[in-house]
């Protein structure tokens, strides 16, 4: 990885040696207000996929979807097994076992690294047992609010869903934006739709996971530089890894996690449901909006689930 990314920009130290939220620092109060200015009609959208969908939940191979179980409900009260309180109210209660990255989720900036250092130069050994540095907690404490722009790559290419391993780059994003009649601006929260996550529920699961390769952004030095210059705060896509799984040229796996997340501090949001939002944007021609999101405040988490809210 080091050779591949040699000479590319880094934002380590840019926001102080104790920084843990990286490019979210671009989201100043002024950027919040720039996002707020996009709200016109009072429409809202939520972007998480369901946890426990009857057709299964899309996850990175090796992880599993969340498992939820009722531990109290009407059945227990019918059997006389519920607690009795004055007034005799009854209630339902439940527990869940989950992979913290097994649904729509924010990656901590310390989630992926190479060469013994995570974002901002922290020693990778700080990840042991619980992320002591650059965990998802500071992202969750800060929240992510700004102007979002959606680029619908699938629609731009006239497809319901991009193919396995199909790639695109920043020029493609800009061309798609132009075709949509909008512009990716500096400090935007960049949402990209490939159609992948929406297609999961319609596809055979064996086919979906076979030779696992997603469509997505592909690494180039120019693309990294573009992200750096555009000062993109947050990359949000409807894929599991936010980039084509392996670089088609070198075979290197997830180079953008390294170049963008670890080196530039760009925050990643994955497995996002974008179909309904894209439908609406295509209908009214407004592809930008106020984006608000805050993952769960999981102490030491390498990531955490989130249900972003978009206002137009």
Interface of this chain with a second copy, residues 205 to 244, rule: CB under 8 A: 206
Binding mask 89-108 toward a second copy (x if CB under 8 A, else -) reads xxxxxxxxxxxxx-x----x
Q: Is 305 in the site for a second copy (CB under 8 A)?
A: yes
Looking at the Cβ atoms of 149 and 293, the one nearer to a second copy is 293
Task: Provide the minimum distance between the beta carbon of 174 and a second copy in the complex, in angstroms, as a whole number.
Answer: 27
Query: Nearest approach, Cβ of 42 to a second copy (angstroms)?
Result: 3
Closest approach of Cβ 190 to a second copy, in Å?
A: 19
**Closest-CA residue to 266 (of 198, 196, 217, 204):** 217
Q: How far apart are CA 278 and CA 70, in angstroms?
A: 34
137: contact with a second copy by CB under 8 A: yes
Q: Counting contacts by CB under 8 A, is residue 275 touching a second copy?
A: no
How many binding residues for a second copy (CB under 8 A)?
Answer: 110
Q: Which residues pair with 311 in a beta bridge?
A: 44, 290
Scanning residues 146 to 205, which ones bind a second copy (CB under 8 A)?
A: none
Closest contact distance (angstroms) between CB of 243 and a second copy is 12
- Is 80 a binder of a second copy (CB under 8 A)? yes
- The reply to whether 45 sits near a second copy by the rule CB under 8 A is yes
DSSP state at residue 125? G
Q: Kindly tell me which of 100 and 278 has the beta carbon lying closer to a second copy.
A: 100
The SS3 of residue 234 is: strand
Quick one: which of 86, 158, 181, 285 contacts a second copy (CB under 8 A)?
Answer: 86
Rounded Cα distance between 151 and 269, Å, is 15
Stretch that binds a second copy, among 159-167, 175-183, 193-201, 290-298 (CB under 8 A): 290-298
**Interacting stretch for a second copy, rule CB under 8 A, among 119-127, 184-192, 194-202, 229-237?**
119-127
Name which of 177, 204, 201 is nearest 188 in CA terms: 177
Contacts 24+ apart (CB under 8 A), 11-19: 11/228, 11/263, 11/264, 11/265, 12/119, 12/120, 12/121, 12/263, 13/120, 13/121, 14/265, 15/265, 17/120, 17/121, 19/120, 19/265
Query: What H or E segment, with its residue span, contains residue 208?
Result: helix 205-209
Task: State both tokens at 280.
Answer: 């609406």
Looking at 7, 18, 128, 207, which residue binds a second copy (CB under 8 A)? Answer: 128
């Amino acid at each position: 990885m080091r050779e591949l990314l040699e000479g590319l920009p880094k934002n380590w130290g840019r926001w102080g040696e104790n920084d843990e939220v990286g490019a979210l620092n671009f989201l100043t109060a002024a950027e919040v207000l720039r996002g707020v200015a996009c709200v016109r009609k009072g429409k809202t959208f939520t972007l998480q996929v369901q946890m426990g969908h009857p057709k299964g939940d899309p996850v990175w191979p090796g992880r599993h979807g969340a498992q939820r179980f009722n531990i109290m409900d009407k059945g227990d009260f019918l059997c006389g097994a519920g607690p009795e309180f004055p007034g005799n109210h009854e209630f339902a209660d439940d527990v869940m076992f989950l992979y913290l990255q097994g649904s729509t989720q924010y990656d901590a900036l310390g989630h992926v690294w190479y060469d013994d250092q995570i974002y901002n130069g922290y020693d990778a050994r700080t990840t042991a047992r619980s992320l002591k540095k650059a965990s998802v907690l500071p992202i969750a404490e800060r929240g992510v609010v700004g102007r979002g722009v959606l680029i619908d790559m699938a629609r731009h290419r006239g497809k319901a869903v991009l193919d396995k391993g199909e790639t695109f780059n920043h020029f493609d994003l800009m061309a798609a934006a132009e075709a949509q009649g909008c512009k990716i601006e500096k400090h935007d929260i960049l949402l990209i739709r490939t159609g992948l996550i929406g297609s999961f529920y319609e596809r055979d699961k064996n086919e979906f996971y076979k030779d696992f390769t997603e469509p997505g952004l592909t690494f180039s030095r120019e693309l990294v530089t573009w992200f750096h210059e555009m000062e993109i705060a947050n990359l949000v896509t409807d894929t599991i890894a936010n980039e084509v799984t392996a670089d088609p040229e070198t075979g290197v796996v997830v180079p953008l996690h390294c170049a963008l997340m670890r080196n530039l501090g760009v925050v990643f949001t994955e497995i996002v449901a974008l179909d309904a939002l894209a439908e609406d944007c295509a209908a009214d021609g407004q592809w930008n909006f106020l984006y608000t999101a805050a993952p769960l405040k999981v102490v030491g988490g390498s990531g955490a689930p989130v249900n972003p809210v978009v206002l137009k």
